[in-house]
Amino acid sequence: MYLLEEIITDIMPLSEQSMKRLIAEFQEVKHPRGTHLFRQHEIDKTLYFIKSGVARAYNQSATTDVTFWFGMEGSSALSYNSYMKGTCGYESVELLENSILYEIAHPNLELLYNTDIEIANWGRKLVEKEIIKVEERLISRLLFNAGDRYKELMQHHPELLKRVQLSYIASYLGITPVSLSRIRAGIR
């Protein structure tokens, strides 16, 4: 479990006064497994941090369900289009475990950004870190084959492999569950 103060500090340390102001705007919420924090084609400007649990972001069409992100303790969860542009999101975010989250509504955070330069800079750092994560996922998908991406997942997020069903892992890697089974067998 991650405390909110730890998550905030991992993004950027704040003074005691700014930390108190920011923490005061968050609410701790509990949701059961299967809850959707966001649904594609809808607007939701809430920002979440995961205290405990696992989530996945995916896009669903008539024929496919593609997982492209997993979040665990300490991760942020938001619909980028909704949050930043106020337009419908392209993704759904589903909780894969019973979860405890910290949530903050966009207008409350915007007010803090407009009245506290330190929190505004913290928000900039949050966006920078999210952009780097997206870039790393994109580069991994473009430059490495599925076997290498699976090995990278094993190395950097082994606990994820124990907590997420293999069909979602396969989708995340861009392969079928059968191909994932072959990769796993080849590694053993």
Q: Average pLDDT for residues 126-155, to the nearest whole number? A: 93
Domain that holds residue 67: 4-115
Q: In what order do the strands lie in the sheet with 27-31?
A: 27-31, 99-104, 47-52, 76-77
Instruction: Note the pLDDT of residue 104.
Output: 97
The percent of residues above 90 in pLDDT, for the chain, comes to 90
Q: pLDDT-derived band of residue 83, with 50, 70 and 90 as boundaries?
A: confident
Measured between alpha carbons, how far is 133 from 135 in angstroms, rounded to an integer? 5
Within a domain: 134: no
CATH number at residue 47: 2.60.120.10
In a domain, 35, yes or no: yes
Tell me whether residue 126 is in a domain: no
Q: What is the side-by-side strand order in the sheet with 65-71?
A: 36-38, 92-95, 55-60, 65-71
In a domain, 32, yes or no: yes
Q: What is the pLDDT of residue 62?
A: 82
The answer to whether the beta carbons of residues 159 and 169 sit under 8 Å apart is no
Mean pLDDT, residues 36-44: 95
pLDDT band at residue 50 using 50, 70 and 90 as cut-offs: very high
Query: For residue 21, what pLDDT is reported?
Result: 98
pLDDT-derived band of residue 138, with 50, 70 and 90 as boundaries?
Answer: very high
Is the residue at 137 inside a domain? no
In a domain, 37, yes or no: yes
For residue 111, what pLDDT band results from cuts at 50, 70 and 90? very high
Q: Tell me, yes or no, whether 138 lies in a domain.
A: no
105 lies in some domain: yes
Return the pLDDT at 58: 96
In the chain, how many domains are there?
Answer: 1
Q: What is the mean pLDDT of residues 80-97?
A: 92
Cα–Cα distance measured from residue 42 to residue 37, given in angstroms and rounded to the nearest whole number: 11
Can you tell me the distance from the alpha carbon of 27 to that of 114, in angstroms, rounded to the nearest whole number? 20
